[in-house]
Amino acid sequence: MKISDGGKPSLFETASNPKHGIYVHIPFCQRKCAYCDFYSLTDLTLRQPFVDSLLQEMALVTSDEVRSDTLYFGGGTPSVLTQQQIETIMQQAKDLFTLTPDAEITMEVNPGTVTQDYLNFMRQIGINRINIGVQSFSHNILEFLGRIHSPGHATQVIQQARKAGFDNVGLDLIFGIPGQDASTWQDDLKTALVFAPEHLSCYILSIENGTHLDQMRKSKAFEPAPEQHIADLFCITQQILKDAGYEQYEISNYARIDNGEKAWRSRHNQKYWSFAPYTGLGPGAHSYRAPLRYWNVRDVGLYSAALAKGRLPIQESEKTTTEQQITEAIYLGLRTCDGIDIAHFEKLFQIDFNQQYGDTLKTLYEENLVIVDNSRCALTSKGMLFHNSIVERLIP
């Protein structure tokens, strides 16, 4: 790899999370959803040229002697690739990257794009975790979001994934949708629980600038859900999933607990919150190896053009300052329910945590927003609703 910090061990590598993660961004979707601002194109004729470029990018970054214990196909919609294209990328990853034997290999799937045969194939080639973009089991909500699939497609794909042999199934759901009342959201959660997924991500709908939903809001086609209502739905989510035997391990993420074992957290996503090193491949993908962060051009044409010349398609890189790293360690640490590991934080930054943040933390504690003990600092359930403002209070 051309960008390097000189091969020094990563500042943020810890004994519990020493390995690399690999993210592959597949920038295609059958149709753009109304709320989506991820980089993806709907011209599927560009898939093969993209795959050819991706294989070149993988070959260029492979000189790193790093072990990876996660490989994550996200997007976009990875499942719009053909079986052959997915297999070629998987083979290249196996050939070029040192994947550990127990590597978590995840692929995101849109329910409107796969068949039983496709899912069987995914499993056969070594993908061992599937993340299904269900979003909702309500026809009206799926229509509002502009999804290509129906509730029936979603339930069918979950069942087909089980039949294909996936024993690590994650479902994505969205709440806080205009017009969605508490009982509709409860129904979504209860329907999801029928399938006993190993993992659930429950995201609050975010209306991003430039999306179709943003235009609709500006033209007053709908009123965004009130903040208090969203807070109520968030609390309902925590309660229902806790009662069903799931641990919330990050603001939006829940993992099933089996016989007291917390075995189903997303190993890959935890890397983002714990500053483990990761490499992002594909247009717009970000990579991180403390203190260096870099990201690829967000354009398939420019991406392929750079690779055709034998260059990595990096748009920009930055060396994060200690101040940036501290902010991120607090921002990301407080997203997780394990919170900030105070001893680790102090060792990394040579800061006395209590001396630096003690006064603010005392006030936050009195407001029931944080829990602090000798080893960790985490948000309370109530605090999670105010994550951004709490971080701003800690780091003005």
Residues that bind ligand SF4 (CB under 6 A): 29, 32-33, 36, 38, 40, 75-77, 110, 133
Question: Least distance in Å: CB of 299 to ligand SF4?
Answer: 16
Residue placing its CB nearer to ligand SF4 in the complex, 133 or 313: 133
* CA distance between the termini of the chain: 37
DSSP string of 54-73, one letter each residue = HHHHHHHHTTS--EEEEEEE
Q: How far is the CB of 105 from ligand SF4 (least distance, A)?
A: 20
Query: Rounded to whole angstroms, how far apart are CA atoms 270 and 353?
Result: 23
Which C-beta is closer to ligand SF4: that of 144 or that of 357? 144
Q: Residue 200 CB, nearest distance to ligand SF4 (Å)?
A: 17
Question: Which residue's CB is nearer to ligand SF4, number 77 or number 253?
Answer: 77
Which is closer to ligand SF4, CB of 169 or CB of 361?
Answer: 169
Residue 183 or 209 with smaller CB distance to ligand SF4? 209
Q: Which residue is nearest to ligand SF4 (CB)?
A: 36
**17 has which bridge partners?**
14
Cβ closest to ligand SF4, residue 38 vs residue 195: 38
How many angstroms separate the CA atoms of 164 and 120, rounded?
Answer: 5
Taking the least distance from each CB to ligand SF4, the nearer of 39 and 294 is 39
Report in angstroms how near the CB of residue 213 gets to ligand SF4 at its nearest.
11
Q: How far is the CB of 142 from ligand SF4 (least distance, A)?
A: 11
Q: How far is CA 315 from CA 40, 125, 294, 303, 383, in A?
A: 17, 32, 8, 9, 36
In the complex, least distance from residue 199 CB atom to ligand SF4, rounded to whole angstroms: 17
Cβ atoms within 10 Å of 317's Cβ, excluding its own: 12
* Pairing of the two strands 340-341 and 199-204: unpaired
Amino acid at 165: G
Q: Tokens in use for 42?
A: 């709907």
Q: Write the CB contacts of 230 (distance below 8 Å, at least 6 apart in sequence).
A: 175, 176, 204
Residue closer to ligand SF4, measured from CB, 152 or 226: 152
Nearer to ligand SF4 among residue 71 and residue 142 (C-beta): 142
From the CB of 41, what's the least distance to ligand SF4, in Å? 10
Q: How far is the CB of 181 from ligand SF4 (least distance, A)?
A: 23
DSSP sequence for 106-138: EEEE-GGG--HHHHHHHHHTT--EEEEEEE-S-
| CA–CA distances in Å: residue 249 to residues 202, 220, 337, 365 | 12, 36, 5, 20
- Report the half-sphere exposure of 275 (CA within 13 A, side-chain side): 27
The least CB distance from residue 45 to ligand SF4, in Å, is 17
How many CB atoms within 10 Å of residue 350? 7
Helices in the chain by DSSP H: which ranges? 47-61, 83-96, 116-124, 139-145, 151-164, 182-194, 212-218, 227-243, 267-274, 300-308, 322-333, 342-349, 353-366, 381-384, 387-394
